Amino acid sequence: MRKRIVAGNWKMNTDVAAGVKLASDLMQLLIEKPAPENVGVAIAPPFTHLSEVHKVIDPAKICLAAQNCASEANGAYTGEVAVGMLKSVGVMAVIIGHSERRAYFKEDHATLAKKVDLTIKNQMRPIYCCGEVLDERNAGIQNNIVENQLMESLFHLNNEDFSRVIIAYEPVWAIGTGVVASPDQAQEMHKFIRSLVAARYGAEIAEQLTILYGGSCKSSNAVEIFSKPDVDGGLIGGAALDAAEFHRIVQSF
């Protein structure tokens, strides 16, 4: 049975003190009521919080993730944070290719492929994001867009390395636009992604691949979304900033 995961992306929210409290509150909730069997929990605080958050969580219950990483291992790259630095403070996974990184910081396929490679080389798991914007969805080319994103930044990996990847599908057109993606639309794309992986890496690896839904997911719709056969959890944004709400989403399987 493939792993189910609920990952919280805090984005550029909370200061260090508030972030430590949020992580501590979530940790206490998971002690009182653990995640369901075969469900993993991850949180991705801002870089400034990582070392302090690491001190208040049990890695057996919460995986510490980073929201991004540099595309180079080290060197004269002012302001960047290397994967080795992240690993040294307890980070176990890295979000790569988030739609906001693609849109605002113009990260391209080649840059994302380098980040994926560095993350895997450092024994961490990439949470690779893919998805289409509204114009692409309206044009009916969403499958082409997602296939290209996977081919250009992931499909160079060998079977062993690919097995470390987690994919998060972001329907960018349904995030903050007022347009809602239905659970059936999520399932349709998740199934398509799994079929692409099966064609490239074989049915066994495709079946073990965890694919997260990165749309607007809350406790009120998580049960329905997570019940879809190819949806293995969620990459949660705003709802991850409320420990009780995030914990309710974790319990939605």
Active centre residues (catalytic) = 98, 170
Q: Angle of helix 183-201 relative to helix 219-226, nearest 10 degrees?
A: 40
Helix residue spans in 89-182 (DSSP H): 99-105, 109-121, 134-138, 142-153, 159-162
* Residue 113 identity (one-letter amino acid): A
Quick check: 218 and 248 in contact, CB under 8 A? no
- The token pair at 121 is 């080389």
Strands 63-66 and 39-44: what pairing? Answer: parallel
**Residues 6+ away with beta carbon under 8 Å from 57:** 23, 26, 27, 43, 64
